[in-house]
């Protein structure tokens, strides 16, 4: 079984990446083969609305017809047994690279046709377990209220198209930098940030590990 993690952060060694690596360790502990893909290594666009995937007689079969560096990643995602997506919150949403990935990952499998059996829109995607790890500056108290609806929207689309309940984890109050003294960031209480990280980061990593360990179950 293959589990792929998709890192929607530009940073390969900080909050989101660390959580995704831990999730993949969990998947490995469950016997899966794993791979981590860093979206920022690739040049690609979001959906260009060519609608090739919706044309009558289309051979796209749930894969985005627009060809660029994301094509091989989307093919790998189709083959994978499970996916764990991860992104920091940028201005109240997941990063632009993650959004562009999601457009290309979701739209080709969404049919604008109602399935008479369920009354819902048809999907071309095979069922697949999906996890989503969000990391953010926001503390728990308002992270959930401020970003909950956005996460709910993303997870709803993933669930509807990939026939799963998304296993999600929100990692709050992250340290955006290692050393706040090097930056003009007085808004943040550096000491409190580091204290929170010391007290919660390992616990969050463990939750990510468990998410990965259970993703196929
Ligand atoms: C351009 C930019 C915008 C951000 N916007 C938000 C935001 O709206 N809300 C928030 O809680 N954190 C915001 N952050 C902080 C990141 O979400 C947070 O530090 C995250 O854990 C970084 O993940 P990384 O270490 O994997 O890059 C922003 C960071 C950047 C660089």
- Give the dihedral of Cα atoms 215, 9, 80, 126; nearest 10 deg: 80
The whole model's pTM is what? 0.97
Residue to mutate (ligand 1; options 12, 176, 205; most atoms within 8 A of CB): 176
Structure tokens at 78: 């189709």
The predicted pLDDT at position 120 comes to: 87
State the residue for tokens 């083969």.
33
Q: Whose C-alpha lies nearest to ligand 1, atom 14?
A: 90
Interhelix angle for 70-79 vs 96-106, to 10°? 60
Query: Does 87 sit in the ligand 1 pocket, CB within 6 Å?
Result: no
Q: For the chain, how long is the longest CA-to-CA vector? A: 60
The predicted pLDDT at position 142 comes to: 86
> Ligand 1: distance of its center to the CA of 38 in Å?
17
Q: What is the pLDDT of residues 133-190, one digit of tens each?
A: 999 999 998 888 999 999 999 999 999 999 999 999 999 999 999 999 999 999 999 9
The predicted pLDDT at position 143 comes to: 86
A 10 A CB-CB count for 138 gives 19
State the residue for tokens 């499970």.
82
Closest CA to 88 of 46, 22, 21, 137: 137
CB 151 within 8 A of CB 170: yes
CB 66 within 8 A of CB 52: yes
Closest CA to 18 of 146, 151, 207: 207
In the chain, which stretches have pLDDT less than 50? Answer: none
The predicted pLDDT at position 65 comes to: 96
Query: Does 196 sit in the ligand 1 pocket, CB within 6 Å?
Result: no
Query: Does 208 sit in the ligand 1 pocket, CB within 6 Å?
Result: no
The predicted pLDDT at position 141 comes to: 85
Closest CA to 48 of 98, 107, 113, 8: 107
């Amino acid at each position: 079984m293959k589990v792929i993690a998709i890192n929607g952060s530009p940073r390969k060694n900080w909050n989101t990446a660390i959580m995704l690596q831990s999730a993949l360790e969990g998947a490995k502990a469950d016997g899966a083969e794993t791979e981590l893909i860093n979206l920022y290594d690739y040049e690609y666009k979001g959906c260009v609305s060519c609608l090739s995937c919706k044309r009558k007689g289309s051979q796209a079969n749930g894969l985005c017809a627009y060809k660029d560096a994301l094509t091989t990643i989307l093919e790998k995602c189709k083959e994978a047994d499970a996916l764990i997506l991860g992104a920091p919150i940028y201005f109240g949403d997941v990063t632009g690279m993650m959004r562009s990935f999601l457009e290309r990952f979701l739209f080709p499998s969404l049919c604008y046709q109602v399935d008479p059996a369920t009354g819902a829109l048809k999907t071309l995607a095979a069922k697949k377990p999906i996890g989503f790890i969000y990391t953010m500056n926001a503390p728990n108290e308002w992270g959930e209220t401020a970003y909950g609806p956005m996460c709910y929207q993303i997870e709803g689309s993933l669930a509807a198209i990939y026939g799963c309940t998304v296993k999600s984890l929100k990692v709050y109050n992250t340290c955006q930098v290692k050393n706040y003294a090097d930056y003009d960031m007085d808004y943040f209480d550096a000491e409190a940030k580091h204290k929170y990280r010391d007290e919660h980061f390992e616990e969050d990593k463990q939750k990510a590990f468990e998410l990965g360990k259970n993703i196929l179950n």
